[in-house]
Amino acid sequence: MELGFDNDKYVKIQSENIRKRTELFDKLYLEVGGKLFDDTHASRVLPGFQLDVKIKMFQKLRKDIEIIFCISANDIERNKVRAEYGITYDMEVLRLIGNLQEMDFNINSVVITLYKNQPTVDTFIAKLKRYKIKTYIHRYTKGYPTDIDTIVSEEGYGANPYIKTTKKIILVTAPGPASGKLATSLSQLYHEHKKGVNAGYAKFETMPVWDLPLKHPLNMAYEAATADLKDVTMLDYFHLEEYGVKAVSYNRDLEVFPVLKTILNRIVGKDIYKSPTDMGVNMIGQCITNDKVVQEASKKEIVRRYFNEMCNYKLGITEYDTPERIKKLMNELKIDENYLDVVRPALEKSEKVGKHVISLKLPNGKIITGKETELLSPASSLILNTIKELTDIPDSIDLLSPTILKPMLELVPRTRERDKTLSLEEVLIALSISSVTNPSVEKALNSIKELDGCEAHSTYIVSNGDLKMLKSLRINLTCQPLFYSTKLS
């Protein structure tokens, strides 16, 4: 894979700029946009961006950091899921806390925002307490967003409990967007300044990239990724007016900035920032080493997002205007669904054999397909065919031992049509058992790591176990918005 991003430079200059911002205050509340771990979007649009580069950067500042997690009670109540891993936001908070504790980061607390006495939220709060994690409850801020006098008063931010912090930098993060990070940060600023502490606020974002053109594919890929939130990248007209410099922001930040500026002025007693861009600490643009590679990767990501949202529409998760917005971005860039070169081979093979098919592009450019059979799901066939190709094992050789498959098939009765085939997880378990006595199988299994970052396309909506396993292999999977079967039972 040709790289387009310099991780080492990013860690160096991003951490330096955070330190510079910290020096302006006694204490800095740093709102973290995007993901601390496993930023798969950034790694796809910035080839070379390491999934853990953000946390590596924060490790350089670890002794000065403590972390507050925010999670919306609404997201807990509706079981909102983080797509990459198929786990709910509340479970994602626990996963992230566990990972950070293993790295010796100081976890301050979890803030439940927009709390309305929801029973499911109370259950999560009880779980946090059993894990001995401090928990705070924030309700809707009275007066927000227009009544500044009420917002910046004991009835507004003052109604929220004060979270005691001891470090210089407080990261305010969340499992996803719209979790209440900004409100929590401002609430803390209100309390800190009441106590005479010169606390400040800044925003650490990766996307959009303020110093790239508005219509750069990387910024358009951000729009595609947040199409469900109706985010639109825009010129920061506050920044342009104040400094005469073009900078890219997005609609939500621009809409809220006048209110935010007024609130900060009322809390701090002066204007800290003149534009949304001023608030941010984002050095991504300066670390791009190959713009052509980044543009190409970003265009592919936009198409992936289109397929994903079309599937979400089919599943009833989103409205049609979400994929429609992404389709407009594709039209602007003059690309279509076939921009991903795994799409056409899957559709053509499926039409030829009359079966569901998944195609995958290997690192060497060769495209492999796998179809559904009486024994195997399309995903299972695909991975078997792929690892044979990677290890030069003849197609005539069976990697799965009948002596292992027989008891597996008997152990799990398959009474439904969709359950008659072996899932990818079952196939990988069978291969793992066979590898103990078969060196060829062991070699084949070792080749699976080469699939990291490969493109794949399915002629149906892959779900459940096969989807989870393909994602765990870090395969970039897209799907046609079609169900595996038209049967409802």
Q: Name the most confidently modeled range: 354-368, 371-385, 410-424, 440-454.
A: 354-368
Does this model's pTM top 0.85? My answer is: yes
- Which pLDDT does position 147 carry in this prediction? 93
CA distance 29 to 169: 6
CA distance 354 to 8: 49
Cβ contact 298:220 at 8 Å: yes
CA distance 369 to 379: 9
- Which pLDDT does position 444 carry in this prediction? 83
- Phi first, then psi: what are they for 87, rounded to 5°? -120, 150
Residue type present at position 240: L
Same domain, 253 and 370: no
Is the model more confident about 5 or about 39?
5
CA distance 115 to 139: 5
Same domain, 275 and 406: no
What are the C-alpha distances in Å from 104 to residues 59, 100, 344?
A: 9, 6, 48
Give the chain's count of helices (H) and strands (E).
20, 14
Domains identified in the chain, total number: 2
Mean pLDDT over 58-67 rounds to 94
| DSSP assignment string, 399-415 | SS-HHHHHHHHHHS---
Same domain, 273 and 388: no
Residue range 80-94, pLDDT digits in tens: 877 666 789 999 999
Q: Any residues with CB less than 8 A from the CB of 205 and at least 6 apart, and which?
A: 33, 34, 280, 281, 282
In the predicted model, is pLDDT for residue 193 greater than 90? yes
Same domain, 86 and 153: yes
Can you read off the two tokens belonging to residue 342? 């795994």
Q: Any residues with CB less than 8 A from the CB of 302 and at least 6 apart, and which?
A: 217, 220, 221, 224, 326, 329, 330, 333, 335
Mean pLDDT over 405-433 rounds to 73
Same domain, 344 and 280: no
> pLDDT above 70 covers what percent of the chain?
95
Instruction: Give the residue from 255, 287, 319 where a domain finishes.
Output: 287
Does a structural domain hold residue 370?
yes
CA distance 436 to 383: 19
Same domain, 11 and 100: yes
Mean pLDDT over 416-433 rounds to 78
Computed from CA positions of residues 395, 397, 399, 404, in that sequence, does the dihedral angle turn out positive or negative?
A: positive
Mean pLDDT over 156-172 rounds to 97
Residue range 343-353, pLDDT digits in tens: 999 999 999 99
CA distance 370 to 458: 10
In the predicted model, is pLDDT for residue 49 greater than 80? yes
Does a structural domain hold residue 317?
no
Residue range 169-190, pLDDT digits in tens: 999 999 988 899 999 999 999 9
Is the model more confident about 94 or about 146?
94
Same domain, 133 and 34: yes
Q: Is residue 487 very low, low, confident or very high in pLDDT (cuts 50, 70, 90)?
A: low
- Which pLDDT does position 420 carry in this prediction? 67
In the predicted model, is pLDDT for residue 456 greater than 70? yes
We report the CATH number of the domain holding residue 208 as: 3.10.630.10
CA distance 221 to 298: 6
> Range of 407's domain?
340-479
Q: Which residues of 61-95 are buried (b: 16+ CB within 10 A; e: fewer)?
A: bbebbbbbbbbbbbbbbeebbbeeeeebbbbbbbb
Vertex 180: Cα angle to 177 and 184 (nearest 5): 140
CA quadruple 410, 415, 421, 426: dihedral, nearest 10:
-50
Does a structural domain hold residue 227?
no
Does a structural domain hold residue 330?
no
Does a structural domain hold residue 89?
yes
Is the model more confident about 80 or about 408?
80
Q: Is residue 489 very low, low, confident or very high in pLDDT (cuts 50, 70, 90)?
A: very low
Same domain, 57 and 187: yes
Determine the angle formed by the axes of helices 378-391 and 424-434, rounding to 10 degrees.
40
Same domain, 275 and 347: no
Same domain, 358 and 450: yes
Residue range 336-383, pLDDT digits in tens: 999 999 999 999 999 999 999 999 999 999 999 999 988 889 999 999
Cis peptide before 345 (omega within 30 of 0): no
Instruction: Give the residue from 260, 287, 314 where a domain finishes.
Output: 287
- Which one, of 98, 40, 488, lies nearest residue 308 by Cα? 40
CB atoms within 10 A of CB 203: 22
Residue range 286-331, pLDDT digits in tens: 999 999 999 999 999 999 999 999 999 999 989 999 999 999 999 9
Mean pLDDT over 417-446 rounds to 81
> pLDDT above 90 covers what percent of the chain?
76
We report the CATH number of the domain holding residue 415 as: 3.40.140.40
HSE at residue 442, side-chain half, CA atoms within 13 A, is 5
Mean pLDDT over 444-457 rounds to 92
Does a structural domain hold residue 327?
no
Cβ contact 357:263 at 8 Å: no
Same domain, 283 and 395: no
**Residue-averaged pLDDT of the chain:** 92
Same domain, 273 and 346: no
Does a structural domain hold residue 204?
yes
Does a structural domain hold residue 195?
yes
Mean pLDDT over 184-203 rounds to 95
CA distance 47 to 44: 6
